[in-house]
Amino acid sequence: MARSFNVPTIFNSEFVSKIKTARRDADPLKNDLSPSILDFGPLRFKLARHFGFCYGVENAIEIAYRAVEMNPDKRIFLLSEMIHNPRVNDDLVDRGIRFLRTTDGKQLIPFAELLPNDIVIIPAFGTTIEIETQLRELKVDIKSYDTTCPFVEKVWRRASQIGSKGYTVIVHGKRNHEETQATFSRARQGKNSSWDASMKSGNTANTPVFVVRDLEEATFLADFIRGKHDRETLLERFLDSFTPDFDPDTDLIRIGVVNQTTMLATETKEISSVLRQAMSERFGESEISRHFADTSDTLCYATNENQEAARALINDGASLAIVVGGSNSSNTSHLVELCSEVMPTYFIRSSKQIDGAQRIVHFDLESGRDITSESWLDLSSRVDILLTAGASCPDILLDEVIRTVVDLVPGTRNPADVLQTFTHIQTAH
């Protein structure tokens, strides 16, 4: 899938681009995960090897901006946020695009107000078959500018494949996230060749689907498979996380695991391992292939790369970490979780949240709101800052963060001079 996309220059950074290009040229096979060192003298940034826009996001941005360019006289709507980044979404709104729904499903504009000549852009996360059906019945164009990520579609295909073979689909994801909702919707039709056939038959839950958010929930499910919990306890614990008429006694005999592509890839692997072990204990290792489907090929390479690069970044050590991205971005929140286990970590949407060396406003994952930290930047000695970003974050936002922080530290080198000495690779080696 090596191709370039037409991304608006407003999201690009010459500074960051040169660093990425230098790393790519020196390490085309991406074997070196060590961070890039940007040495400003009294301040050093350690920049993750992989960060920012992924294939699916760049593809979505190109399609959405092409829709605006090609249809100046049409009304254009986004089903919901195309990607979870306010800079990108705000710019699309400024260009006349309107949102039909919020990311949590609140209807902003009734579908009934849409006209056949309107264009609706499907976001990178995809959408449910039920919503697609509603929009098709209104005869609006949802196909010309569908930005659904190819790797999300790969998960859908794999879920349908194992569903058609009689496996229950276990989804590692956040039940209310748009991508998981879309996967849930599409996985449940796996025993039919098409959604239309399912609807006509009156059976809308042909493939059982069950969502687990994390390893703790997967372990609880594994213990049920081992016989440690009764069905009522399981169903009560996971209320609204499974398809209608889900029967734990019959629907957990054959299972396969797929994931929301923005979840921690290592956790998906752990969840698969825990559930596979439970099935092996129940049915025997010699019968495991009949009871557990191999779905390891559904992990998103970009999410995995960013997470592995974040781990290498963390291992190199620093005074603190800054993670840039939308506060509702799932993949970004997992980078924050990784960093915050080891050091003070500040999750910000843009450099505007940095108020000098004394104050920084950052998103707190636990409370789900912005909080303010005082004296976040200690200038009494050289400062090392880890810097990374989610897959929906434009490079320009990291550029702005670097320049904002550099301006706070006396005696720092000019960014242009840092780039000039960034010949070959200055990594943590």
Q: Among all residues, which ones are annotated catalytic?
A: 179
- What is the three-class DSSP state of 379? coil
Tell me the C-alpha to C-alpha distance, in Å, between residue 140 and each of 117, 153, 165, 194, 235. 6, 22, 34, 21, 39
Count how many Cα atoms sit within 13 Å of the Cα of residue 35 in the half-sphere of its side chain. Answer: 25
285 Cβ contact list (under 8 Å, min separation 6): none
**Please, what sign has the CA dihedral across residues 380, 381, 386, 389?**
positive
285 beta partners:
none
Count how many Cα atoms sit within 13 Å of the Cα of residue 426 in the half-sphere of its side chain. Answer: 16
Q: Closest Cα partner for 390 from 299, 307, 266, 314? A: 307
Residue type, 203: N
Count how many Cα atoms sit within 13 Å of the Cα of residue 347 in the half-sphere of its side chain. Answer: 26
- How is residue 374 annotated by DSSP? E
Q: What is the C-alpha to C-alpha distance for residues 348 and 363, in angstroms, rounded to an integer?
A: 6
Residue 331, by phi and psi: left (phi above 0), alpha (psi -120 to 50) or beta? alpha
Answer whether 321's CB lies under 8 Å from 386's CB. Answer: yes
Query: Burial level of 235, CB count in 10 A (0-12/13-18/19+)?
Result: middle
Q: Closest Cα partner for 289 from 259, 258, 254? A: 254
